Every structure is written in C-alpha cells, then in structure tokens.
Chain A
Amino acid sequence: MGTVNVSREYTLKEKIYVIALFQGMILTLKRFIDGFFFRKHYTIMYPEQKRNYSQNFRGMHFISVDENKTENCTACYLCQTVCPAECITIVAEERNPATNSYGVRKEKRPLSFDIEALKCCFCGFCEEACPMDAIKLSRNYELSVTSRQEAVYDLKHLKREVKGRG
C-alpha cells in the first residue's frame, strides 16, 4: 500500500483564504481585548497564588507524630527496604525501657532518619509499606535547594504535626 492521500474539495471561500484570515484576526483581536482591557487570564500568579493540588498529590515526606510529639516511626526498616531508589537511611535505637511509656508498642525508635530527596522518585511505596502510618507524603512541592546537601532531610526536619496529607 502506498500513501493514501486523504483530501477534500475546498470551496472557493476556503481557497481565497483571505476571508478566513480576517476571521482569525478578529478572533485574536477579541482575545486581545479580553486580555488587555478586562485582564482576563488563566495564569496562576505563582508565588502569590498557589495551585490547589489534589489530595492524592505526592510531595515531600513527613513523619507523623503522636499526642506527645513522639514520632510514630518504630524503625522497622520496611520503608528503607521497599524504597526502589534506596534513598532512605535509618539508624535504629532502643528506647530507654525505664522512661518508655508506650511499652511494647514503641520499643524502638529511629536515632536518625535521612531521606535524600534528590534520589527519591516520589513513588509513595514507603507510605504504603509503613505499618505505623508514620512516613507520609505531603502536598508540599516547593523543594528547591541551593546545594545537594540541603536536599538530605533528617528526622528533625521530617517530624511534623500534620493531620491528613498536610
């Protein structure tokens, strides 16, 4: 099969083209008047206005805390294991049994919990894997930093009191 040439007969009006040209010009003039006199635009003026993303948006992680502001994470390493980008690094530690009011519920705690945001692909697997609903992905998408080192977020930074998706 060679090329199938799909074409149709053009009417004289279409062939002259100038008419269509003026129609188009009038259309753009209307848009121009809309924009110039009535300030009509669809642009979101970003730093002042922000786009309202859906609740399903996966942005920067945070670690949820309980009523005593203790992190819910029990350093079970499930998120670190599941992470396809291997960007989570946890160092676990035992809570002091003498002062631990949670008992068996929170025997371990993360001594450090680092997420390298530059490696992360925001797949949300860590959130799925977490048995404590500790690690969650927020809707924060403003993640610009000025050096690589700043993109490594530690426990202090991640621990936030947020309800839902923040």
Chain B
Amino acid sequence: MDTFILIEIVAKIVFVFAVCLGVVPLLVWFERRGSAWIQGRVGPNRVGPFGLIQPVADVAKFFFKEFWTPANANKWYYHLAPIFALVAPMAAMTIIPFGSHLVIGDYIINLQVARVDSGVLFILAFAGLEVYPIIIAGWSSNNKYSILGALRGASQIISYEISMGLALLSILLVYGTFDLHKMVEWQNQRFFGFLPAWGVLVNPIGALIFWVSTFAETNRLPFDLPEGDSEIVAGYHLEYGAMKFALFFMAEYVAMIMASALMCTLFFGGYNLLPGMHALVDLIVSVHGFAEAGRQNATAILQFLSFFLKVSFFMVVMIWVRWTLPRFRFDQVVNLGWKILFPLALCNVVIVSIVMYSMN
C-alpha cells in the first residue's frame, strides 16, 4: 500500500479517537457543572481552573482503586462487557464524515475514516451492538439488581431500535442513498435560495422520532431505566468498580457523541457550513490570497468546526434534557415506544414514500 495512504488512514483514526476521547472529560465536566448551575449549586470547582481538571482527577482515582471481581461472576463475560460498551460506539464513529476533503499536493483526503457505501447499515449494526454490553454485564455479574437492569435495558433498546430504524428508513427515502457522505452532500442544496436543505426540514417527524429513540438507545435520562439508581441501585453496572466502571461511564459519553454526530449528519446538514460561514471562507481566502486548493482546505477546516459546533449543541441538549425530565416509569417507556413512536414512524415512512413517489 502507498505509504501516504497508510499515514492518512492512521492520522484520521488517531484524530477521530483523540477528539472523541478528548471531548469526554469536557462533557463530564459540563454535565456536572451544568447540572449544578441548573439546580442552583456550584459543582466541582476546586481542581484546576473552573474545576476543569476534575474528570482527570476522577480517572486517576479510578486507576488506583482495587480491581475487584465478584466471586460468582462469569469472569470472561464480566470483563468483556465494559470493553464491548466502549468499542461499539467508538467503531461507529469511524463512518461519520466530519468534513468534505482536504487537498495536500496531489492527494485528496476524505475526512471520514472509513467510507462505507452502506453507512447506515453499519450504524444500525453498531447501534444493535449497544444492547450486548448491558445484557452481558447484567447477566455475568450474578446480581439480581444487575439482571433486572439488563432485562429493562434489553427490552427498552430493542423496542426503540424499531422506531429508530423506521425513522432512518424515512430519511433514506428522501436521500436515496446509504452513503453518509452523499447524504451530507444532498443537504448542501438550498430551498428557495436561502433555507439550508437540512433533513429536519424535509422530515421533521422522522428527526423527532430519531432523536427520542437515540435517547433510549444511549440510556440517557429520561430513559435510564437500566441504571435506575433509585430502584435498582446502578442496574447493569452495579458490580463494576474502578476502571471497569470508568469504561462504562466513558462509553455512555462516547455513545452520546456518536448519537449527536449521527443526528447532526442525518438531519442537520452534517459538516455543511453553518449559515453565514461562507462569508467567513471568502474573507479568509481574500485575506491570504489562497488558490483553489487553499480555499478547499479552509472550507474543510471550517466545515469541521461547524460539524463540531452542531454536535456540541446536541450534546448540550442531551445534558439539558437529562436535568429537566425525571425518569419515566417502565410502562410509560414501553407505551411510548410501541404505541406512539412505532405507529408514528410507520405512518411517517408511508407518507414520505408517497410524497417521494409522486414527486419523481
């Protein structure tokens, strides 16, 4: 293989993972301080400026805790689950396009780790994997609370996967492609000359259903039944301590990043520039006198920036919702999934297909 391509791929992988894992502590910090601000508290503010080093201190603490395994746990699966939990959303990150392409010399670098033609299927496969760590962790720890959490998690994730799949289907009908890169390019057009053609404007119900389902998929409040601290202690990860717990904890945030990135890519224009950023590109190009390649590179960097801003917005919304809504009761969760979202998603698919058919 060409050395340049090898370096390119490695650099992209390192970049994506570094950004992901680098955002996690910030997100944890924001979750804690943000919740404090909402509740009229102060939050962690002692370690480092504004308490920003607090997550690092927490991880350091986790490293020094005892590596403890319950006596009757199934050791192999018990240790497999946290790894699984972190790897599944991380792997799904590889197909998210975070910019169009960079031009270096004669080379064109696609800003996407793996350009998979069937990107959406890849996502569904990895979203499906997210239920396994919960089941494996709950079952293998040999604890009744864990198994209850695992059962709840399994039923919840599987029910919401259906509405999530249908919402995806409805937006696939609009784009007519499985490739995430092409989807983002589709959203680059404009309606009536000024409105960005984001998926959410074409298919708002699909976007809403998808967004609600991702909450259930990532086990965030108001759908955190598998954890349900007030009822089943900590649910599926009750028997995990030290770094193994930290892995579950990190996995939750990586899954959040993944869900937000997906929401952004599918429904909110992906890496397309935010309104007004085109003027910024023109400005930068005119100031530095860039040629075509320079213009493309400047655009790509700003595209990454807009993608990052959009994804951050969704992550903030996830945190915001978490500190607004209380946990649903289990029957409410199942009713919402099967009696409201599922028929709604189905109707949406039918309507979108009729509209798309009549338009072509």
Q: Could you tell me which A residues sit within 8 Å of B by CB distance? A: 21, 24-25, 27-29, 31-32, 34-36, 40-43, 45
Contact = CB atoms under 8 A, between A and B. Distances in A.
Given A25-B320, A43-B42, A45-B42, A32 B37 contact: yes
Interface residues of B, number: 13
Contact of A25 (B37, B39, B321): B321
Contacts of A25: 320-321, 324
Nearest to B326: A24
B323 interface: yes
Contacts of A27: 324
Contacts of A34: 37, 40
Contacts of A31: 37-40
Q: Which 4 A-B pairs have the closest CB atoms?
A: A35-B37, A28-B324, A43-B42, A24-B324
B41 interface: yes
B325 A32 contact: no
B41 A32 contact: no
Most-contacted residue by chain A among B39, B41, B320, B324 (CB, 10 A): B324
Contacts of B42: 41, 43, 45
B39 A21 contact: no
Contact of B40 (A21, A24, A29, A40): A40
B340 to A, nearest CB: 9
B34 interface: yes
A31 B34 CA distance: 10
B325 A41 contact: no
Nearest to A30: B38
Contact of B41 (A21, A29, A36, A41): A41
Interface in B302-322: 320-321
B11 interface: no
Contacts of B34: 32
A28 B325 CA distance: 10
B251 to A, nearest CB: 26
Contacts, number: 42
Contact of A36 (B37, B39, B323, B325): B37
A28 B34 CA distance: 10
Contacts of A21: 324-325
A89 to B, nearest CB: 39
Contacts of A35: 36-41
B320 A29 contact: yes
30 contacts: A21-B324, A21-B325, A24-B325, A25-B320, A25-B321, A27-B324, A28-B320, A28-B323, A28-B324, A29-B320, A31-B38, A31-B39, A31-B40, A32-B34, A32-B320, A34-B37, A35-B36, A35-B37, A36-B37, A40-B40, A41-B37, A41-B40, A41-B41, A41-B42, A42-B40, A42-B41, A43-B40, A43-B41, A43-B42, A45-B42
Nearest to B222: A21
Contacts of B323: 28
Q: Is the interface of A mostly helix, strand, loop or mixed?
A: helix
Interface in B1-46: 34, 36-42
Nearest to A27: B324
Given A40-B40, A45-B42, 4 more contacts: A25-B320, A31-B38, A31-B39, A42-B41
B327 to A, nearest CB: 14
A21 B37 CA distance: 19
A110 to B, nearest CB: 43
Contacts of B320: 25, 28-29, 32
Contacts of B38: 28, 31-32, 35
Most-contacted residue by chain A among B34, B37, B41 (CB, 10 A): B37
A40 B42 CA distance: 9
Contacts of A36: 37
Contacts of A28: 38, 320, 323-324
Contacts of A29: 320
B39 to A, nearest CB: 7
Nearest to A24: B324
Nearest to B336: A17
A83 B39 CA distance: 43
Contacts of A41: 36-37, 40-42
Most-contacted residue by chain A among B34, B39, B320, B323 (CB, 10 A): B39
Contacts of B41: 35, 41-43
Nearest to A21: B325
A29 B38 CA distance: 7
Nearest to A18: B208
A19 to B, nearest CB: 14
Nearest to A44: B42
A32 B40 CA distance: 8
A43 B43 CA distance: 9
A31 B37 CA distance: 7
